[in-house]
Each structure stands twice: as structure tokens, then as C-alpha cells.
Amino acid sequence: MEQAKQGRADEMGRRGSSLWPLRAVKRTVAVGSPTRHSATRVRAAGLSRTVRAERTRATFRIKGHAFHPAPVRFREAPNGTVRSFSISFVFGILSSFGDIRGHGFAFFIALSTDLSAAFPIQFLGLINATNNGSTSNHLFAVELDTIQNTEFGDIDNNHVGVDINSLNSVKSNTAGFYNDELFYDI
């Protein structure tokens, strides 16, 4: 019975029904000393993760992705109600190089796990210079950005942004925390 349901879901997804099925995707950052065009595939904590690193003129440009192993259905039927969800987590971004840091990372939802055309660095491994803003991206992301990129209209070098098909956030706020109802940016 479950296989039959999955088969129907896969078939409906191939027919192009909007937003169904989507894949939940989490971005990761690789650390270490990668070799040119090395790729590693591992399975951990139920996620499938591919890390790809490129070295160009002594500069590392690293992008990595961790994908949920199966499509996550946000609707039971193409015309059904969209499910809500929430996530909570604690993390820290620390640089081994003082003020030099990476561009951040993003949690995102996309129709495909093929992000081979996406650029690293300020593009967060999600898109590239030619498809930023394209409706064909089918991408929703929450970026945790640690560098201000004027090309994307970033508000500062420490913000959370909501992105739809683009790294030009539709909404962003300075990252921080509340303590006794007072906001502290970090």
C-alpha cells in the first residue's frame, strides 16, 4: 500500500504539479583542505550529503549540500492544503582566520537536488550569476548571511533573509537574540 502511494506521488510530481513533491534541503559547509574537484558522499543522521570543493589560484571556493533522503510532501494532493512546519536549532559560525569568514549558509526547499550549476561563495551554493531571480529556480530559502553583499541588497553583514528564487531577500532582519525582551545583535 505504501509503495503504491509513493508511486502515485512520484507520478504526480513528474506531471509538474506545483510545489509537490518538494525536497527539504539543508546546506552545509566543508572544512579542511580539499583537493581540486574532490567530491565526497556520506550518509549520516538520515541525510544524504555531498561536499564539493574547488581550489582556484590558492583560494578555496567551497559548497556543500545535505539533502533529506526522500521528498517531503507539503501537500497530500495537488490542490490540497499546504502543511505548515517549524524548525529550531542552535549553531555557531566561527572563523579560524579572524575577520576573514565565509558567506554563511541557508536552509532551503527546492524541486531538485541538482545544484551543480550553482556557484559557491556569495551565491551560497544555491544559484548562479545568470539565474538569480529566475522563476524557474523553484527555490525558497532562509539565509543566515555573514557578509554584506551589495549586489543582493543585503542590509548588513549579520542577517537572516527570506529568499524566493533569488538571493535578493524579500524580507531580512539583523541576526541576534532576545534577553529579557531586549534585542542584542551579534
Q: What pLDDT sits at residue 168?
A: 96
Q: Which of 116-120, 153-157, 169-173 has the lowest mean pLDDT?
A: 116-120
pLDDT reading at 25 higher than 60 = no
Q: What pLDDT sits at residue 45?
A: 42
Q: How many CA atoms lie within 13 A of 102 on its CB side?
A: 24
CATH of the domain at 147: 2.60.120.200
- The better pLDDT of the pair 72, 56 is held by 72
Average per-residue pLDDT for the chain: 72
pLDDT confidence of 102, banded at 50, 70, 90?
confident
- The better pLDDT of the pair 181, 15 is held by 181
Q: What pLDDT sits at residue 19?
A: 33
- Across the range 12-37, mean pLDDT stands at 36
Provide the domain limits for residue 63: 2-185
pLDDT reading at 59 higher than 90 = no
- The DSSP output letter for 8 is H
Q: What pLDDT sits at residue 61?
A: 67
- Across the range 121-142, mean pLDDT stands at 93
Q: What pLDDT sits at residue 152?
A: 95
pLDDT digits (tens, 9 = 90+) for 160-180: 999 999 999 999 999 988 888
**Which residue, among 88, 93, 122, has the nearest Cα to 107 in the 3D structure?**
88
pLDDT digits (tens, 9 = 90+) for 132-151: 999 999 999 999 998 999 99
Q: Are 34 and 55 in contact (CB under 8 A)?
A: yes
Give, in order, the Cα–Cα distances in Å from 21 to each of 18, 67, 114, 115: 8, 14, 15, 17
User: Which pTM was predicted?
Assistant: 0.65
- Across the range 83-95, mean pLDDT stands at 75
Total domains present in the chain: 1
pLDDT reading at 32 higher than 60 = no
Q: Are 151 and 132 in contact (CB under 8 A)?
A: no
- Across the range 63-83, mean pLDDT stands at 80
Q: Which residue has 575577520 as its cell numbers?
A: 99
